[in-house]
Amino acid sequence: MYRNKNIKKTELAELGEFGLIKHLTRDFKIVNPSTLKSIGDDAAVISNESGEILLSTDLLIEGVHFDLAYVPLKHLGYKAAVVNFSDIAAMNGTPEQITVSIALSNRFPLEAIEELYEGIQLASDKYKVDIVGGDTSTSNSGLFISITVVGRANKEDITYRDGANLNELVYVSGDLGAAYMGLLLLKREKLVFQANPEVQPELTGHDYILERQLKPEARTDIVEALKVHGIKPTSMIDISDGLASEILHICDSSGKGCMIYEDKIPVDITTSTMAEEMNIDPTTAALNGGEDYELLLTIKQQDYEKIKNIPGLTPIGHITEAEDGVNLIARGGALVPLTAQGWDAFLKNKE
């Protein structure tokens, strides 16, 4: 427990998740020459004779990151692994190993944990990743899952967040906002069930947005396609906290601005339909919803003809000077400055 009562206490909500990370790590120094990149990207990079090692970790906490009232344990295990694979893909690398650590209360029987690990194994088999270790512990407050992923990439292939240059093109894979609308649907049906347990959840016809929330995929296929077509992105990040948050990360790291065009942002029709049903602007879901785990990347203009041959990638804007800011060009032509309103574990208005 923190006991120094003479120092003014700072609420974590004042900093936010990324502000807290910057604050805690601002004085960290790299002392080993094998550490090529530490904190500040999707994964750390460690030098190795047979190719650079990529390292990342993710922590999922019951009641903060997932609700077991509507998240099946097998899906949770799958997702917990995949979101780590996505971090390696965002570095233009390949995931190879994971360690899995869990802490759980005694309300979980063995069969429940077996189901969780079935999901982790399913994801590992699909992406050809080995489970090589981990730890288990008891918990007094639900389920905690911590996965560390080890990946690999050639030094010349690694893509960071800080490489975007003036006039380069901004691309995104897949479509955005579906995972968020799937989450809102699950939350809505949970509330209906709590009010009347006799009412069955209305989930029929919403398979796509539910799968995007409960069983996302890492876009390692896009990484491979870029290599086949001889394209190395100048910067890249995965979309875990919403498009707006991620493009701000790239622009901040690269010292640049950008223009994103609203009418270019890919949104699936099922996402738009659910958003309209819930009186939410589909663009808002795409910009701020998060958990899509698509890739946001910038490329040189001379790669435009090559990238056109890769299905599933959409150009949504271009990089500008930093003083121009990070902006959305709305359908009506208005210039709207982008702000990060996606997931932040330390904001008070988040569940």
**What CATH class has 169-337?**
alpha beta
Q: Where are the beta strands (DSSP E) in the chain?
A: 35-37, 44-46, 52-61, 94-104, 130-138, 144-153, 169-173, 235-238, 256-261, 295-299, 313-321, 326-329, 335-337
pLDDT per residue as tens digits for the range 262-277 = 999 999 999 999 999 9
DSSP for 324-344 reads G-EEEE-TTS-EEE----S--
Write the CB contacts of 252 (distance below 8 Å, at least 6 apart in sequence): none
- 45: tokens are 């990079």
Parts of the chain belonging to CATH 3.30.1330.10: 32-157
Q: What is the mean pLDDT of each run of 10 residues along the chain (351 residues)?
A: 59 62 62 64 68 90 94 97 97 92 88 92 93 84 94 94 98 98 95 83 90 98 98 98 96 98 98 96 95 98 96 98 97 92 49 41
Domain 32-157 coded CATH 3.30.1330.10: yes
pTM of the model: 0.85
- The whole-number pLDDT of residue 290 equals 93
Sheet of 313-321, strands arranged across? 235-238, 295-299, 169-173, 313-321, 256-261, 326-329, 335-337
**Token pair in block for residue 284:** 């808002």
Residues spanned by CATH 3.90.650.10 within the chain? 169-337
